[in-house]
Amino acid sequence: MALADVSQGGTVNLDDFSDLIERPDGGIRRDAEERRERLVVPPGALGRLDELGEWLSAAQASVKVRAIEQPKAVLFAGDHGVASLDVSGRRAGTAHELVRAVLDGASPVAVLARSMNVPVRVVDAGLDCDPELLPAEVVRHRVRRGSGRIDVEDALTPEEVEAALRLGIAIADEEADSGTDLVVLGDLSVGGTTPASTLIAALCGTDASVVTGRGGAGIDDLAWMRKCAAIRDALRRARPVLGDQPALLAAVGGADLAAMTGFLLQASVRRMPVILDGVVGAACALVAQRAAFRAPDWWLAGQVSGEPAQAKALDRMALNPLLDHGVHVGEGTGALLALPLVQAAAAFAAELPERPDPTTPDDGGDTPGTPGA
């Protein structure tokens, strides 16, 4: 399958990604580990930054790491019908308000990105609002208006899943082609943690109560019980299609989740590293891992979000979060906070000098037995 075929409208067969995605270069990583042993800073003194530097070497296929110069935050936006059950701290159908806050520079991720000089791209995959409320470059990708109420109906039709996957793949190609060398991936959704938790519970074979959290906006105990019941009912609909990832996304996902899944898979094909944020990104990553087991080698977990479903998904993928600051605002904020760590690891790996070789004569010093000046 040519990569262009998918973004131009061909049928997306997720199984093809298993052949398309290669692991980061293991030989380069071993060479980077050996070089790390020779640096002036003792091995282990930089903690996880050593591991990150070696990971970047393998991802870039270069023993000496290149600086992260063109990172970008990419945020997929969507509304979820299940939010009408009052399972979210925000009103159903108001994800466009989150988008507007980002565009106006008034949200946490926008403030942080501005301070770090990181551009932010918002992609409307399934917002439930009039397109005129937002700029054309945001809404032009929309697959559908909102997603179905997953406890009683499918989130998407098979055709909409196809379109959403192709959208994510196309966005990944656009970013890779434009020179983006690392993506901070986030979501702007209302009700999104409910389908995300459902996907994780289904793929990890666990119960609703184990994965149900309070969401980025925070909910009280009654809302938590409603959310748990919604996930329980959605799980009954998810289990019969567990072996078919597009069908699973259609049943209990959403347009933004399907697009993020396609994005993660194609980013791995294009060898473009991604920092994941919270439970929504973790759910999409878990679906993508089912399609291509090598794909998680291209991802980092930015932070602990406090969502129990995220912890289960990251454990299943063997991804260890970089930060645990108690940040659960969502929108990619936690992943963006982790970016400076990755950039620092790249700088150390690229710029720290090696120790002088003791077997090499020092031409600049006095030779033994010769008086100094």
pTM score of the predicted model: 0.92
Q: Distance between CA atoms of 227 and 249, rounded to whole angstroms? A: 19
Provide φ and ψ at 245, rounded to 5°. -60, -45
Q: How confident is the model at residue 216 (pLDDT cuts 50, 70, 90)?
A: low
pLDDT digits (tens, 9 = 90+) for 146-205: 999 999 999 999 999 999 999 999 999 999 999 999 999 999 999 999 999 999 999 999
Q: What was the pLDDT predicted at 128?
A: 97
Percent of the chain residues topping a pLDDT of 70: 92
Give me the chain's average pLDDT, please. Answer: 91
What are the residues facing 79 on neighbouring strands?
190
Q: Distance between CA atoms of 333 and 241, rounded to whole angstroms? A: 33
| Active-site residue identified among 33, 331, 351, 354 | 331
Do residues 265 and 166 make contact, with C-beta atoms less than 8 angstroms apart?
Answer: no
Say if residue 6's pLDDT is above 60: no
Enter the tokens of residue 105: 């520079």
Q: What was the pLDDT predicted at 10?
A: 60
Ordered structural domains, the chain, with CATH: 71-341 (3.40.50.10210)
Q: What was the pLDDT predicted at 36?
A: 87
Enter the tokens of residue 194: 């409910």
Q: Is 331 a catalytic residue?
A: yes
Q: What was the pLDDT predicted at 141?
A: 95
Rg (CA), the chain: 22
pLDDT digits (tens, 9 = 90+) for 33-92: 889 888 889 888 899 999 999 999 999 999 989 999 999 999 999 999 999 999 988 999
